[in-house]
Each structure stands twice: as C-alpha cells, then as structure tokens.
Amino acid sequence: MRILIADDHDLVREMIADVLEREAECTVAHAASIDAVIEVLKQSEPFDLIFLDYQMPGMNELAGMRLVMRTAPDTPVALLSGVANKTVAQRAIDGGAKGFVPKTMKARSLVNAVKFMVAGEVFLPVNFMTGADQAPESATALGLTKRELEVLAGLCEGMSNKEIGLRLDLQEVTVKLHVKTLTRKMNAKNRTHAAMLARDMALLAG
C-alpha cells in the first residue's frame, strides 16, 4: 500500500510511518502542509490512502481536506488529530472523508484502520465517538511545572536529555526524571508522543 502522511510535526510523521512500514509493509510519502500535499499528488503515482492532520498549515478547518479530495478524487482521505472532538470527526465524514484516526491510537489498531479504509470502508473509532467531548487541556490543568514545560520544549525540538540538561543547566538524570513525570501527567506513551501532544494541545504556544 502507498500511504501519504501529511502533518507539520516531523515526529508524528516519522512515528506513524514507522508503524505502517514495519507492521503493514506500506510505502510512505511525507508532506508538512496542504500545499506540499498538492505538489506530491501532482508528481507521484496514486496513493491508496492520504492522512491529513487537522491542524497543519493550509487545512483551515476542513477546507484543505476538500481541496485534497478534489485534487485526488479517487483516493480515500482520512483526518488525523490529537485534539479534534467527535463533532469535527463527524463533519469530516459528512464531508467525504473515509475516516478519523486519533493520534493516540495503538499501532495494531492503526494498521487495521488503514486496511479498513483502503478497502473502501469508513472508519470511526467507537470509543472516541461515543465518549464525551473534552476540550484540549492546558499546561495548568495538566499540572505541568515551569521546569517541565522547559524540558517539554526541548523534547519538541528533538533534543536528547543531555542536550536539554546543558541548555537548562540540569543534570541528565534530573532531566530524565522530569521527562518521566511530564509524560505521566500528559498520559503520553513516550517522549515522542509527549512532544506530539504538546504541539496539538498548543501547550507551548506563546
């Protein structure tokens, strides 16, 4: 299967691509904006599925999705997000999307969802759609300290614990402890997932 993953967060693309290449033997192309998606579609062979991040440049709510669907009308498009609620997910489906995939989805479930959508079916995670809508949480609501936010900023830049320690004048073991604590507070699987959620929740905005 040929999959196009569009997200302006490098870590997100790499994480999802790794799962699909390893678990489903997919060939994965990358894009970081709607403009880049259009260029890739013009220059590449048809894809079996296109993933679009809800918050990347050019999306403008769902306008970017509609543009991609007009450009590649025979290719299924799925919305990808860490913060969009079920109302947004339903709007995407009503607008012609073949699915909605939360970024928190486990690897096996993601692979199954991709196969489902490539087969022409519409995918919506039942637990997500039947749960109560929740607003994105703030750093304060998550209980993140100023120091943890500084460490999180380093994670978002792809820095190692040692590099973060040098920047903040902290011992590497102290940084490691902060990473462990902030990932627990954010309910993140690992440092990459924490960085991904931080971007989507706009925890470091401003």
CA distance 30 to 52: 11
Q: Report the SS3 class of residue 78.
A: strand
Say whether domain 139-201 belongs to CATH 1.10.10.10: yes
Place of tokens 């799962």: 19
Contacts of 101 (CB under 8 A, 6+ apart): 51, 78, 79, 80, 81, 110, 113, 123, 125
- Under DSSP, is residue 3 helix (H, G, I), strand (E, B) or coil? strand
Q: Contact, 119 vs 78, CB < 8 A?
A: no
Cα angle 101, 76, 197 (rounded to 5 degrees) comes to 25
Question: Which residues of the chain does CATH 1.10.10.10 include?
Answer: 139-201
How large is the average pLDDT for residues 70-88? Answer: 88
DSSP string, 161-199: HHHHHHHHT--HHHHHHHHHHHHHHTT-SSHHHHHHHHH
Confidence of residue 128 (pLDDT cuts 50, 70, 90): low
Question: Could you read off the pLDDT of 136-177 as tens digits, one per residue?
Answer: 456 777 888 889 999 999 998 889 999 999 999 999 999 999
Indicate if the pLDDT at residue 206 is higher than 60. Answer: no
Per-residue pLDDT for 135 more than 50? Answer: no
Provide, for the chain, the percentages of residues in helix, strand and coil under a 3-state DSSP scheme, each rounded to the nearest 5. 50, 10, 35
Class of domain 2-130: alpha beta
| CA 139, 106, 35, 89 torsion-angle sign | negative
Convert 101-127 to b/e letters by CB count within 10 Å (16 or more is b). bbbbbeeeebbebbbebbeeeebbbee
Backbone angles phi, psi at 188, to 5 degrees: -95, 150
Task: Report the alpha-carbon distance of residue 85 to residue 46 in Å, rounded.
Answer: 30
In the chain, ranges of CATH 3.40.50.2300 domains: 2-130
- The pTM of the full predicted model, rounded to 2 decimals, is 0.68
Q: What does the block give as tokens for 123?
A: 């995918």
Residue 86 pLDDT: 80
Q: What sign for the dihedral angle of Cα 169, 174, 180, 186?
A: negative
Among candidate residues 3, 15, 6, the one with its CA nearest the CA of residue 196: 15
pLDDT score at 127 = 67
Q: Cα–Cα–Cα angle for 9, 111, 108, nearest 5°?
A: 100
